[in-house]
Amino acid sequence: KCVGSYLGHPIFKVISLKVLPCVHSVKNSTPEQKKVENEFSRLLKVAERTTGLYFSYDTNLTLSTQRLYDLGNESKMLPLWRQAEPRFLWNSYMLEALIDKKLDPYLLPVVQGSIPYGTINSSILWHEKRGADSEGHVANFVETEQIIQINGFTSSFVQVRGSIPFLWEQIVDLTYKPKFEIVRPEEAPQIAERHFLDLRKMYGSVLAVDLLNKICGHVHFERLSFLYDQIADFLVKNGYFLLNEESEKMEQLGVVRTNCIDCLDRTNIT
């Protein structure tokens, strides 16, 4: 279903998924093979129920406007899956067998997230996962891009959100903010360092913001101006992406990073 456009290219939302078997050899399989097949079938049925999937036949939804513009001419000639940002390629594992067979015309990048008017959210969602792995990759990592096109100008502002970059566990209960405990605390500095080094390579300067801190905690929206005053210099210095009709551009040089616990449904702040 076509739900909008991105820089003039139609965006489609996946309404339903159906996995079709290629062979019917399960009848002659061993009990162990049938067990494995049943487990794969269960996982595929979970995938079929996945919501918030989007794709485009013409452009790469895994890249921000700035990164898309900065692609070289050679990269722009590559199939869409070759251009894709691996972090946001939802169906990367499913494409592997087709990639090996060089079936480029059948490889369509899909992202999971949401695309409200003027905003693109691309996310990495680890089902029932929290925290980071030993390499600093965090669960629930979301890149949010706000795009405005007016009078021949295209502007874009990117921010990111993800789970707290430590190995940690949490007992989920009915409290607003359940307490968590860091696992293997001796590794915490290295894991956090790897996480922020990756962010710097990808986005430039990084400012970590806590939206549930003493300033804005407990839904004190009237105090947001104090928080903005604290980060205003960073926002001005690092700017946003701006492109005019003559292809003259200004780039965003840094990004604000918040924790996934500060997501919209908890804070109502973006």
Cβ atoms of 132 and 165 closer than 8 Å? yes
State the number of CA atoms in the 13 A half-sphere of 148 facing the CB. Answer: 8
Same domain, 38 and 158: no
14 and 123 co-located in one domain: no
Statement to judge: residues 103 and 157 lie in one domain: no
The per-residue pLDDT string of the chain (270 residues; one tens digit each, 9 = 90 and over) reads 898 888 888 999 998 877 777 666 667 778 888 888 888 888 878 777 888 899 999 888 999 999 999 988 778 888 888 888 988 898 888 888 888 888 888 889 999 888 765 555 555 444 445 677 778 888 788 899 999 989 999 999 999 988 888 877 666 555 555 566 777 878 888 989 999 999 999 999 999 987 766 666 555 667 778 888 889 999 999 999 999 999 899 999 999 998 866 554 444 455
Query: Tell me, what's the pLDDT at 243?
Result: 94
* DSSP label at residue 81: H
| Residues 134 and 259 placed together within one structural domain of the fold | yes
Judge if 183 and 270 occupy the same domain. Answer: yes
Nearest C-alpha neighbor of 141 from the set 95, 216, 188, 203: 203
Domain boundary among the residues 89, 114, 139 is at 114
Domain that holds residue 245: 118-270
Q: Cα–Cα distance between 198 and 195 in angstroms, integer?
A: 5
Of 14, 247, 58, 264, which Cα lies nearest the Cα of 152?
247
H or E stretch at 111: strand 111-114
Residues 122, 110, single domain; the answer is no
In whole angstroms, what is the distance from residue 159 CA to residue 65 CA?
13
The pTM score is 0.79
Question: Do residues 19 and 133 share a domain?
Answer: no
Question: Which of 216, 67, 48 shows the shortest CA–CA distance to 143?
Answer: 67
d(CA 148, CA 118): 6
Same domain, 45 and 79: yes
Report the DSSP pairing between strands 153-162 and 254-259.
parallel
Residue ending a domain, choose from 99, 114, 129? 114
Residues 54 and 136 in one domain: no
pLDDT at 151: 92
φ, ψ of residue 18 to 5 degrees: the values are: -145, 125
The identity of residue 21, as a single letter, is P
Q: How many residues does the chain have?
A: 270
Instruction: Judge if 64 and 193 occupy the same domain.
Output: no
What is residue 264's predicted lDDT score, i.e. its pLDDT? 47
Q: What pLDDT, on the 0 to 100 scale, is given for residue 117?
A: 56
Q: How many domains does the chain have?
A: 2
Whether 266 and 134 share a structural domain? yes
Same domain flag for 64 and 148: no
Out of 60, 94, 114, pick the residue that ends a domain: 114
How buried is 122 (Cβ within 10 angstroms: 0-12 exposed, 13-18 middle, 19+ buried)? buried
